[in-house]
Amino acid sequence: MTVLSVDLGTSNTVAVLSQEGRLPRVVEVDGSSTMPSAVFAEHGELIVGREAERRARLDPASFEPNPKRRVDEGTLLLGTQVVPVTDALAAVLRRVGDEVRRQLGANPDEVRLTHPAQWGPVRRNTLLSAARQAKLGGELILVPEPVAAASHFASFPGQSLEPGQALAVYDLGAGTFDVAVVGATRQGFVVLAEGGLADLGGLDVDHALLEHISRQAAGRDPGRWADLMRPTRTEDRRAQRALREDVRVAKESLSNHPQTDVPLPEPFEDVLVSRAELESLIRPNLMRSVELMSSTVKAAGLTLDGLAGIYLVGGSSRIPLVATLISEQLHVVPTRLDQPETAVALGAHQLPKASLGLRTEDLAGTFSKASAAATTHMPSPPRPQPQQQPVPPPQQRPQVVSPQPTPVAPQPFYPQPQPMPQPMAWQQPPMPYGMPMRGPSNAMAYVTAGLFLVVSVLTLICGFINTDSSPEVDDSFVALVGFQFTEDVTGNGDFAISASLTVGFTVMLFAGLLLTRVGVFRWILVALGAALTISYVWGLIWVIDKNGEDYLSLLIICLVLWLAATIAAAIPPTGHAMRGYQRRFATAPGWR
């Protein structure tokens, strides 16, 4: 008998297959144990998985990365096509079924589909309809995700759940957060209490990090950033798609590294983000999840001390702050696997078929008190007896996740958490709105620009004082701006003084470039530089005509200065000019 278990997740889909008593194995689709749940509409067909993500770069409007998250909407608008949500989910399941049939040569005898415990009959029927439409074959069975997770937890030596014991399942996936208390009985597992947050998941963490980056980058060119966030052109949609992918990769990188760079499209500079910044953004929402788990345990009539454990599943449970908050707030050390994405699919596969229909009302009174759960010692729930004793794959060893400040042994895919430094006065959680947060590169630009401004202001003051003291010039401002290259002016040296003032204005122009980098003010500087460059070209022609060789070299110097400043203002910054400062100073002792 062949059994297929499918966990159709918000972002990724995982399938597990067993055949004729063999050990269950994860089905690799396109060479990976997880397949993106994304769909792409093209010429009336739906393309799924990594190929859908690839084609999204060509036409982002025809792409839906998370069809499961829109299960209540009924239909999706993909480009110019209206696609029922059932069809989108069926396309994802059909791709899994095609791969299974390619490996087996036939349909599986039984298909188990996992779903959130909070899903009601309408959503469950939508999932069943999609599975029938995908023609997966065999008998279709629905399994609540927390029940599958508890089964997986109990399959490891030393982690079995005896009848009367209970496990809290903390499931932080891409789309939602779900928490459930699952109890073990002689017949199997049952959900005692459940809860969830629809506005908390990995995608919401991505969105919070993107908003944080927006507060730093948008000030450089608000109009361009608005086009990027609300794209109307295909190139802007492509740029936004690439940006969101880079933000997701940065979020995952911060689970293993203290800081990382987020590349931004032109003309914006790359942004350096740290784990401390990410944690300050998501800490309030993660605290909500921990509080909800505590209240869910109480709703089940249990206490935290009476639990057999807290099991972390879902890809976003890799975030170190999750384990830290649970340990700090609930004083319970949670357990997590190397690959939490596969826990639900593997657990659904290991459940006895006879236990799949259990509900809480079938077992009223079994979990009346937490003490009874902790002291009951009875045989483990029955499991199928295959030809070989099932053992977990080597990479699926359970781990106890210690709170972040506590040193633990290095673990694959989950390195030793580093103690965070004591927060300084300026390291406050960013506000949803307000002034952009300044990073190290901005600080260097401001210091440099400040020095330029001091020098230029002193130059201007000295120049105006000396010019006003000359009786031959009635109006020094006219001599400066109007460039009255007369014999009276040049003969008494006032042209040289006006040139020194021009040098001061040139320095101020460079300071303005450092301060603004991009934006409307840059084009004002370009226009001013172009006008003064033309004036100096006219002055150069006048001096040559009057044989004023004494001031020719000074005039050429001023002309070159203004021309260089104008070109520098006209060329958009590449977004990488200050990266060296950013990396050197952000990691220097005492800088952060």
What would the pLDDT profile of 212-250 be if each residue is shown by its tens digit?
999 888 877 888 888 888 888 888 888 888 899 999 999
- Are 264 and 245 in contact by the 8 Å Cβ rule? The answer is no
pLDDT of residue 432: 34
Other C-beta atoms within 10 Å of 510: how many? Answer: 20
Query: What is the spatial distance between Cα 257 and Cα 277, in angstroms, rounded to a whole number?
Result: 13
Computed on alpha carbons and rounded to an integer, the radius of gyration of the chain in Å comes to 33
Mean pLDDT of the chain: 73
SS3 for 228-273 is HHCCCCHHHHHHHHHHHHHHHHHHHHCCCCCEEEECCCCCCCCEEE
426's tokens: 């300026």
What is the maximum span of the chain, computed from C-alpha positions, in angstroms?
A: 110
How large is the angle between the packed helices 85-104 and 121-134, nearest 10 degrees?
50
Query: What is the spatial distance between Cα 48 and Cα 54, in angstroms, rounded to a whole number?
Result: 10
pLDDT tens for 487-497 read 444 444 555 55
Query: Which domains occur in the chain, in start order?
Result: 1-137 (3.30.420.40), 146-199+282-437 (3.30.420.40), 202-281 (3.90.640.10), 440-580 (no CATH)
Helix (H) / strand (E) element for 404: namely none
Distances (CA, A) of 11 to 14, 78, 174, 278: 10, 17, 6, 21
| Residues lower than pLDDT 50 in the chain | 358-442, 445, 468-492, 517-519, 573-592
pTM score over 0.85: no
Residues 6+ apart with CB under 8 A from 287: 325, 329
- Are 48 and 29 in contact by the 8 Å Cβ rule? The answer is no
| φ/ψ (deg, to 5) at 139 | -80, 135
pLDDT of residue 591: 32
